[in-house]
Amino acid sequence: MTRVLTNIRWLATCPADGADDLGLIVNAALAWHEERICWVGPAAELPADYACWERVDAGGRSVIPGLIDCHTHLAFGGWRPEEFAARCRGATYGEIAALGGGIASTVNATRAASEDELYERSLGFLREMMALGVTAVECKSGYGLTVEEELKQLRVYQRLAATLRVSIRSTFLGAHAVPPEFRNDREGYVRLVCEEMIPRVAELGPHFCDAFVEEGAFTPSEARTVFRAARDHGMPLTLHADQLSDTGGAILAAEVGAISAAHLEYASDAGLAAMAKAGTIAILLPFAALTTHVPPLDARRCLRAGIRVAVATNFNPGSAPCYHLPFALWLACCVHRLTPAQALRAATANAAQAIGMSDRLGSLQAGKQADFVLLDVESVDHWLYHVRPNAAQAVYIRGERDHDRP
Ligand SMILES: [Zn+2]
């Protein structure tokens, strides 16, 4: 199927290599064949070859690349509303974890859920995310923490990728927390992750490897061991770094050549400089910064250091029980001090880079996947200023408007 989208008010191409550039085209046209974009430019310059293709009228709406949520913990059992209320009353992340709450309580609920239950629930979340304009999602394991339970979560993501048109980047996060049964044998758990989980995960298919480097989670030295095993199995690296304290996570991210590092509220200037040198992308997670009451990272520190910035929801039942990516972008402007234009790039071109998919996602350019969103907005500034329940009027994924695979 070959089609041309016309009558576009403006279109943001978000070029993969354009540092701060949205690549705006006023009165644009977009031509695609099957899943791929063939041509993008001013409607007046539409090549004659494409002019006879089936037309789709954008109705004067604006077009952006499909949004990419580059950090989520999508498949989990249960919820934790009582912790939210406790934090509102003043309890800290550490106090909640010490009371048996936090990640440990979601691990119990996720182990208790069947694979089918996790799949059905995640499918529901994903369909609602797609309606908001999200066309690619990174999904982490890390609530199983045994070989079989981690694989169960990762199989859910494989099934979702086979059902929906949305692109899924699946990430193994066995080093999320030390499970209760290994409380007195941390070394034994790290060994289990490296020697049993990682080989089985690699067998299942290509995965990223993540680790939560924080007091109460994993030390930089333990994470280094996990990352060594992951690299031996060809897994690209990402990490949760410097969220609640400066544990040297940003420096570690640069040292191991991580493609991205998330949180970074307490990252030192030296850590950010190291990330810039290594080309590691910073992923800002505004929901988590706000619910855990840590001072949000000033994104301008990253930009000044020369780091590319992405923004994600971090959707999870503890620190970020919300999958509304446009709302996270609005918050990124308010609390992380991005401009709306920077926030759009943070959820498109830069987010695609953060999950290693910029060869086909994140930009509206010839050869890229035809993932795009029609917005009923005057400008990018207006989109993230007058934030609404949903400004997406239509969402195309792999060239089709329907979210489900045929
Ligand atoms: Zn996370």
375 Cα: distance to centroid of ligand 1 (angstroms): 28
Residue given tokens 């780091």 in the structure block: 307
Say whether pLDDT at 396 is over 70: yes
Can you give the pTM of this predicted structure? 0.97
In terms of Cα–Cα distance, which of 230, 234, 276, 235 is closest to 254?
Answer: 276
What is the model's pLDDT at position 278? 97
> Under DSSP, is residue 146 helix (H, G, I), strand (E, B) or coil?
coil
Question: Helices (DSSP H) in 205-317: which residue ranges?
Answer: 220-232, 249-255, 269-278, 286-291, 299-305
Evaluate whether 320 touches 288 at the Cβ level (below 8 Å): yes
How confident is the model at residue 102, as a pLDDT? 86
Other C-beta atoms lying within 10 Å of the C-beta of residue 47: 11
pLDDT computed for residue 405 by the predictor: 66
**pLDDT tens for each residue of 20-65:** 789 999 999 999 999 999 999 999 999 988 878 899 999 999 999 9
What does the pLDDT average to over 170-190? 96
Query: If you measure from the C-alpha of residue 342 to the centroid of ligand 1, how many angstroms do you get, rounded to a whole number?
Result: 22
Under 8 Å between Cβ of 368 and 348? no
pLDDT of residue 137: 98
Q: Lowest-confidence range among 72-81, 152-161, 240-249, 268-277?
A: 240-249
Query: SS in 3 state form for 342-364?
Result: HHHHHCCHHHHHHCCCCCCCCCC
Give the DSSP letter of residue 309.
E
Residue 208: both structure tokens together: 């990223």
**pLDDT for residue 242 is more than 70:** yes
Distance 74 CA to ligand 1 centre (A): 10
pLDDT of residue 406: 63
- pLDDT, position 345: 97
Q: Which residue has the higher pLDDT, 205 or 96?
A: 205
Res. 355: pLDDT tops 80: yes
Q: What's the pLDDT at 52?
A: 83
Nearest Cα neighbor of 143 from 120, 166, 172, 121 is: 172
CA–centroid distance, 219 to ligand 1, in Å, is 16
User: Using the 8-state DSSP alphabet, how is residue 182 labeled?
Assistant: G
Q: How far is the CA of 40 from the centre of ligand 1 (A)?
A: 35
Contact, 269 vs 244, CB < 8 A? no
In this structure, the strands spanning 237-241 and 54-57 are unpaired
Closest by CA position to 321, among listed 72, 88, 145? 72
Residues 6+ apart with CB under 8 A from 349: 14, 15, 16, 18, 65, 358, 362, 363
Residue type, 150: E
Angle of helix 147-163 relative to helix 115-131, nearest 10 degrees, comes to: 40
| Calpha distance 18→218 (Å, rounded) | 36
Mean pLDDT of 337-362: 97
Pairing verdict, β 372-375 and 62-65: antiparallel
Give yes or no for residue 94 having a pLDDT over 80: no
How close is the Cα of 224 to the center of ligand 1, in Å? 18
Rounded to the nearest angstrom, the distance between the alpha carbon of 368 and the centre of ligand 1 is 28
Q: Are 86 and 93 in contact (CB under 8 A)?
A: no
CA of 71 to the centre of ligand 1 (A): 6
Rounded Cα gap, residues 239 and 232, in angstroms: 17
Q: How far is CA 284 from CA 72, 97, 263, 344, in A?
A: 12, 23, 5, 13
Predicted confidence (pLDDT) per residue in 120-177, tens digit: 999 999 999 999 999 999 999 999 999 999 999 999 999 999 999 999 999 999 999 9
Residues 6+ apart with CB under 8 A from 396: 66, 370, 371, 372, 373, 374
Number of C-alpha atoms within 13 angstroms, CB side, residue 65? 36
**CA distance linking residue 197 with residue 192, whole number of Å:** 6
In this structure, are residues 186 and 175 in contact, taking their beta carbons and an 8 Å threshold?
no
Query: For position 57, what pLDDT does the model report?
Result: 95
CA of 72 to the centre of ligand 1 (A): 6
191 burial type by CB count under 10 A (0-12 exposed, 13-18 middle, 19+ buried): middle
CA nearest neighbour of 126 among 114, 108, 144, 139:
139
Q: How far is the CA of 89 from the centre of ligand 1 (A)?
A: 23
- pLDDT bin (cut points 50, 70, 90) of residue 97 is confident
**SS3 call for 252:** helix
Separation between Cα atoms, residue 37 and residue 72, nearest integer Å: 27
Q: How far apart are CA 134 and CA 396, in angstroms?
A: 10
Instruction: Determine the average pLDDT of the residues in 204-229.
Output: 95
Average pLDDT for 363-383: 97
Place of tokens 């080989």: 199
Q: What is the pLDDT of residues 266-322, one digit of tens each?
A: 999 999 999 999 999 999 999 999 998 889 999 999 999 999 999 999 999 999 999
111 and 144 Cβ atoms separated by less than 8 Å: yes
pLDDT of residue 221: 96
Region 74-79: mean pLDDT is: 97
**Interval between CA 294 and ligand 1 midpoint (Å):** 15
Mean pLDDT value across the chain: 95
